[in-house]
Amino acid sequence: MKTLIIYDSVFGNTEKVAKAISKAFAKEVEIAKVSEVKIEQLCGLNLLIVGSPTRAFRPTKELTAFLREIPENSLKKVRIAAFDTRVDVKELNNKLLTNMVKFLGYAAKPIANLLSQKGGKQVIDPEGFIVLGEKGPLKEGEVERVKTWVENIKSKLL
């Protein structure tokens, strides 16, 4: 089972989530920041997990550009999962922003959509992990939630 985790991260929180995902798999998993990943690393993959910080309701520009460059249909045999980090809308305490978030959402869904467009089959719903403020840290308990998310992915791959 060949698994690759690709992530972007500005302040290090999404990187922490990506590393926690990698650790939770126990078996050998490749992990690469989007700035370092090579398109060839997608060859022969069984599972591709992609994550980004949510920046203005979307994944980072660099991650989006990378995903757009993936050749058409090249993920046809690949199971995919997407995650993001985000701030808790309840903490924003701002009606306008809360409504914008309702309409515009977070990074994980557009990541999943881009991967699906390239032929990938979604193995689990896109997931968000909460940071406390722009720079983090991750909210207490989120690393535990990462482990549960990975267990759910594993159970769907059986």
Ligand X SMILES: Cc1cc2nc3c(=O)[nH]c(=O)nc-3n(C[C@H](O)[C@H](O)[C@H](O)COP(=O)(O)O)c2cc1C
Tell me: does residue 136 bind ligand X (CB under 6 A): yes
CA distance 70 to 114: 9
Q: Does 96 bind ligand X (CB under 6 A)?
A: no
Collapsing DSSP to helix, strand or coil, 105 comes out as coil
Among 2, 32, 41, 57, binds ligand X (CB under 6 A): 57
The one segment of 11-19, 32-40, 73-81, 142-150 that binds ligand X by CB under 6 A: 11-19
Residue 9 is a binding residue for ligand X (CB under 6 A): yes
Residue indicated by tokens 């990938």: 120
Q: Say how many residues touch ligand X, by CB under 6 A.
A: 19
Least Å from the CB of residue 43 to ligand X: 27
Q: How far is the CB of 111 from ligand X (least distance, A)?
A: 13
Q: Which residues pair with 131 in a beta bridge?
A: 87, 138
* Residue 90 structure tokens: 């309840």
Residues 6+ apart with CB under 8 A from 53: 8, 9, 10, 11, 13, 14, 59, 60, 84, 85, 86, 107, 131
Least Å distance, CB 61 to ligand X, is 11
Binding site for ligand X (CB under 6 A): 9-15, 53-57, 85-87, 106, 131, 134, 136
